[in-house]
Amino acid sequence: MSTYTQILYQIVFSTKHREKTLELEKIEKLYHFIWGILKNKNCHLYRIGGVEDHIHIITHIHPSIALSSLVKDIKLVSSSYIKSEQLFPNFSGWQNGYGAFTYDISAKNNLVNYVNNQVAHHKKLDFRGEYIKLLKKHGIEYDEEYLI
């Protein structure tokens, strides 16, 4: 018997200390690189986007892949890539944690549009505010200490 899944994830993580080190004019190179990581793990990327201090990944994860392992690999491998290519000279790494939220497949188009509009969205709301809004929307309890 085959395994069938349809779990749409929104994965969100920030640069270390939320430093604005991801230069928007070069960020597409990073997105393309992360897409390659996902593709190599048989995950389907719907959209990746963000701003200078964080990224959002909208993806379906292959059933053989653990979410925590995937995020760990994305962060480790992309950090090495950023440093070896000197893509973002002031980049010092990714934050320790991440947010991962699941959605019904019917939300896909709205999520893709949301990620497409990150630059405009963040003219009104910073990452911390956006992240708290996501946590509350999904009923996730959080500790303010870790949101600094």
- Residue-wise pLDDT tens digits, 83-136: 999 999 999 999 999 999 999 999 999 999 999 999 888 888 888 889 899 989
Q: What is the rounded CA–CA span in Å between residue 107 and residue 102?
A: 10
Confidence of residue 142 (pLDDT cuts 50, 70, 90): confident
Helix axes 27-40, 67-85, angle to 10 degrees: 140
Q: What is the rounded CA–CA span in Å between residue 20 and residue 10?
A: 21
Per-residue DSSP letter, 62: P
The maximal CA–CA distance of the chain, rounded, in angstroms, is 49
**Class of 8-147 per CATH?**
alpha beta
Confidence of residue 148 (pLDDT cuts 50, 70, 90): low
